[in-house]
Structure 1
Amino acid sequence: MTRHLIYLSIVTAALAACGGTGKTPVQQDTTTAAVGGTDTLNHMVLIPGGRFSMGADDSTGMPDEYPKHTVKVDSFWMDEHEVTNQEFAAFVAATGYVTTAEKPISKEELMASMPPGSPEPDSSMLAAGALVFTPPDHAVPFNDVSQWWSFVAGASWQHPEGPGSDIKGRENHPVTQVSWLDAQAYAKWARKRLPTEAEWEYASRGGLSNQLYPWGGEALTAGQPKANTWNGNFPYKNTKTDGFTGTSPVKSYKPNGYQLYDMSGNVWEWVADLYDANYYAQAGQDASNPTGPSKGYDPEDPGQQKHVIRGGSYMCSDEYCRGYRVSARMKTTPESGLANLGFRCVRSVANR
């Protein structure tokens, strides 16, 4: 499926919604080993392997977060924060890589992805670009996300809001508008990989068992801001209680027990696994290093293969999207690039 057709289906799919056995001392990789021809800017921390209960911790989860099941993961290294604009720029400078959002497509390619009998697209659907958050100034129904998402020609990782924007001053913010394909390309260049969904949730829990959030069970709104999420009334009023209306610099909030930052909020994060709404029911107990289903299935869009995204974003709130819970799952197609979607990488211990 081309990314342009994604813009027609994503609004009814990935954007509609918007614990360990005990803490183990965390090791941090403080070396600056050459990666892809440049020094890495993102330290990795060692996540000690173990068993944990994967899935929703209470009755407020979505159906695809059940049943809760036991999973074992081996130790692995994980980026302490989301890949930043500065890091992604180093990758592009070294390789000349062109992201999905920066590539126009042909009418024939788009038509091949659409249902038989679909009308021919106009030229605007063939332009390079991406989805940009364009909030209204008034309340709107939550079931119509076109009220706050717009396709903008020329939007890309370098111009997240469109041609009139850039990333100057945001070098230390997470890169956005990158597809799963782009994230995979970066990870390969960096001699890393995307985390499995099980690895991501295990790491997000930070050594805690049966807690809703990376920091434990305390409500997101209690005390000091804990993550970059939506404050106020979504999508038209953001009170900026946490200090930000869009992305925030990485490491702006306290890390979890494994010294990982932004495992909740800021931007959604790609993981390696395909998405199947029924996967947890089929996985069984005590799976070892699961890598997800062999084939994806989204009942809301059964014709498209999608990948899981995790962690929530600056657009999540209790009234609209509770994606900042450690068990929350969302999904989108691998060509998708969004203004609130990025990634972080991992590396197997054997490959260090």
Structure 2
Amino acid sequence: MRKFFSLIAVISVLASCGRSDQGQLVGAQGKKWHPEKPLGMTLIPGGAFIMGKSDDDIAGLNNAPPKTVTVRSFYMDETEITNAEYRQFVNWVKDSVTRMKLAIFAEEIGETPGTGGIGEFAFADSEEADMTPYEQYMYNNYYSLGDYEGRKINKDVDLIWDTRDYPDEYYAEVMDTLYIPIEEAYNGQRSFDVNHLKFRYTWMDVSSAARAEPGKRADFIETEEIQIYPDTTVWIKDFNYSYNEPMHNDYFWHDAYSDYPVVGVSWKQARAFAQWRTLYHNSYRKSKGEHNVNSYRLPTEAEWEYAARGGLESATYPWGGPYTKNDRGCFMANFKPLRGDYAADQALYTVEAKSYEPNDYGLYNMAGNVAEWVFSSYDPASYEYSSSMNPSVNDESNMKKVVRGGSWKDVAYFLQVSSRDYEYADSARSYIGFRTVQDYLGTDLTLNQTR
């Protein structure tokens, strides 16, 4: 027995030789983390502020009493998400949906890469000879059983959109199912059926899981499948007896409006966009062997108001206030001034996302242009019971979601940084858009350090 323990001791000593820690507690070493400001975002330093109405509540809603709260540091989009940025999301989903349908059909008819035609679009893991051990295991236990979830689509070959260049009739058959029926086309134009543009993602309800009795992790994982194309009909439905057909026809897809804020997007679609942006960014970082970044998400109501104030205490508007004009008599935002003279602020509808002067945090149009979805649910009394540290009130069963900042069709009251409004999570409007945020990881940064 003594010989056995002696052998263990010798092995332990030998195992410690050659280590760089010299037997000291140095901590587990991982990849180096360097905070990286996401493109198009600005860092909002954490701090405390008085949230809510600092002046008289003119509307008498009593839903925003003053309250001192503190928020942590975060990145925020400098502008509202634009049509061009949202189109990148739409195009990615369109590409993925098309490749998946081609791959499934190729699998069903037994076509594989190298055979030409639709076989070139087969799943990337269709050739067993080229599989890694992990891919072989997944194929044997999941994929070969008819489950397409998790299959790797082939992105190395370009999709063919011109009907004259379709490689075979199988490819043509799949593409035909993705476009609107011939009988619904007009003026010789046959468009992609946007009903196919669905984005599926999963998320974990950490808040509920933390408060529940120990149970299965799967009980708190939610799956969402969202149709992501904006509702362009909002330009018609939001206004009765009004000619807005040009906005319906052109606003989202035409390059003339690329830098304008996307509208017609529901709260659920905005949330799906944030999930996709996280997936897209981390997919690139994974290919480079780098750390994942924190998730992109919608801002909480407190974060939005804190950022909108731009570090100004008790200000009425993002630029200070209490007036909507500067010293030269020019309006400071895009809204509905002078009893409905929409053109007085030099805009009839929306304006480009980077218009007017930014606030002191470098954020554009935190008042006016389009109102913005935030993560929080609307409850008139939420300020009374929410935490004073990173307050966030989101009830999944409450479909009323807060919108902030006012829009091109709102009066000045809704442009005030403390004004609250709401819309239903599954509704889309011609005057509601959004911007995203990302939690800051790194050395603690507060407003007092930046002054």
Unaligned runs of 5+ in 1: 1-27, 33-42, 105-127, 135-145, 297-303
- Residue of structure 1 in register with 2:45 after alignment: 48
How far does residue 218 in structure 1 lie from its aligned partner after superposition? 3.8
1:291 aligns with 2:392: yes
Q: Is the contact between residue 335 and residue 409 of structure 2 (CA under 8 Å) also seen in structure 1?
A: yes
1:201 aligns with 2:302: no
How far does residue 61 in structure 1 lie from its aligned partner after superposition? 4.7
- AA partner of residue 54 (structure 2): D
List aligned pairs for 1:24-173, cutoff 5 A: 32=39, 43-62=40-59, 63-96=61-94, 130-132=233-235, 148-149=239-240, 161-163=247-249, 167-168=253-254, 169-173=256-260
- AA partner of residue 282 (structure 1): Y
Change (3 A) 1:198 1:183: same
- AA partner of residue 256 (structure 1): N
In the alignment, the residues of structure 2 paired with residue 166 and residue 75 of structure 1 have an alpha-carbon distance, to the nearest angstrom, of 33
- Residue of structure 2 in register with 1:226 after alignment: 332
In the alignment, the residues of structure 1 paired with residue 422 and residue 356 of structure 2 have an alpha-carbon distance, to the nearest angstrom, of 25
Q: Secondary structure at the match of 1:92?
A: helix
Q: Percent identity at matched positions?
A: 37
In the alignment, the residues of structure 1 paired with residue 71 and residue 251 of structure 2 have an alpha-carbon distance, to the nearest angstrom, of 41
Unaligned runs of 5+ in 2: 1-34, 98-193, 197-230, 279-295, 444-451
- Residue of structure 1 in register with 2:267 after alignment: 180
Q: RMSD over aligned Cα, in angstroms?
A: 3.1
- AA partner of residue 88 (structure 1): Y
Change (3 A) 1:130 1:277: farther
In the alignment, the residues of structure 1 paired with residue 353 and residue 70 of structure 2 have an alpha-carbon distance, to the nearest angstrom, of 29
What is the CA deviation profile of residues 156-206 of structure 1, one whole-angstrom value per residue up to 9, with x for unaligned ones? xxx884347654211000000000111011111112100000000000000
| TM-score, normalised by the number of residues in structure 1 | 0.66
Equivalent residue in structure 2 for 1:338, among 422, 426, 429 = 429
Q: Is the contact between residue 76 and residue 349 of structure 1 (CA under 8 Å) also seen in structure 2?
A: yes
In the alignment, the residues of structure 2 paired with residue 199 and residue 90 of structure 1 have an alpha-carbon distance, to the nearest angstrom, of 26
In the alignment, the residues of structure 2 paired with residue 167 and residue 67 of structure 1 have an alpha-carbon distance, to the nearest angstrom, of 42
Change (3 A) 1:31 1:334: closer
In the alignment, the residues of structure 2 paired with residue 281 and residue 348 of structure 1 have an alpha-carbon distance, to the nearest angstrom, of 25
In the alignment, the residues of structure 2 paired with residue 200 and residue 31 of structure 1 have an alpha-carbon distance, to the nearest angstrom, of 18
In the alignment, the residues of structure 2 paired with residue 200 and residue 280 of structure 1 have an alpha-carbon distance, to the nearest angstrom, of 15
In the alignment, the residues of structure 2 paired with residue 272 and residue 161 of structure 1 have an alpha-carbon distance, to the nearest angstrom, of 28
In the alignment, the residues of structure 2 paired with residue 277 and residue 149 of structure 1 have an alpha-carbon distance, to the nearest angstrom, of 30
- AA partner of residue 304 (structure 2): W
Q: Is the contact between residue 132 and residue 150 of structure 1 (CA under 8 Å) also seen in structure 2?
A: no
Q: Secondary structure at the match of 1:190?
A: helix
Q: Is the contact between residue 130 and residue 338 of structure 1 (CA under 8 Å) also seen in structure 2?
A: no
Q: Secondary structure at the match of 2:49?
A: strand
Q: Is the contact between residue 307 and residue 331 of structure 1 (CA under 8 Å) also seen in structure 2?
A: yes
Change (3 A) 1:87 1:295: closer
In the alignment, the residues of structure 2 paired with residue 129 and residue 250 of structure 1 have an alpha-carbon distance, to the nearest angstrom, of 18
Q: Secondary structure at the match of 2:306?
A: helix
In the alignment, the residues of structure 2 paired with residue 93 and residue 78 of structure 1 have an alpha-carbon distance, to the nearest angstrom, of 24
Change (3 A) 1:81 1:166: closer
Structure showing greater relative contact order (alpha-carbon pairs closer than 8 Å, 6 or more residues apart): 1
How far does residue 351 in structure 1 lie from its aligned partner after superposition? 8.9
What is the CA deviation profile of residues 231-271 of structure 1, one whole-angstrom value per residue up to 9, with x for unaligned ones? 3333xx43x12211100001111000101000000000000
Change (3 A) 1:227 1:247: same
Change (3 A) 1:166 1:78: closer
Q: Is the contact between residue 160 and residue 176 of structure 1 (CA under 8 Å) also seen in structure 2?
A: no
How far does residue 292 in structure 1 lie from its aligned partner after superposition? 1.2
Q: Is the contact between residue 315 and residue 322 of structure 2 (CA under 8 Å) also seen in structure 1?
A: no
What is the CA deviation profile of residues 251-296 of structure 1, one whole-angstrom value per residue up to 9, with x for unaligned ones? 1110001010000000000000111111122336xx1111115367
Q: Is the contact between residue 132 and residue 149 of structure 1 (CA under 8 Å) also seen in structure 2?
A: no
In the alignment, the residues of structure 2 paired with residue 280 and residue 259 of structure 1 have an alpha-carbon distance, to the nearest angstrom, of 27
- AA partner of residue 78 (structure 2): E
In the alignment, the residues of structure 2 paired with residue 176 and residue 165 of structure 1 have an alpha-carbon distance, to the nearest angstrom, of 9
- AA partner of residue 44 (structure 1): M
Change (3 A) 1:70 1:31: closer
Equivalent residue in structure 1 for 2:411, among 304, 312, 317 = 317
In the alignment, the residues of structure 1 paired with residue 242 and residue 393 of structure 2 have an alpha-carbon distance, to the nearest angstrom, of 31
Change (3 A) 1:61 1:74: farther
Equivalent residue in structure 2 for 1:263, among 342, 366, 369 = 366
Equivalent residue in structure 1 for 2:439, among 332, 348, 352 = 348
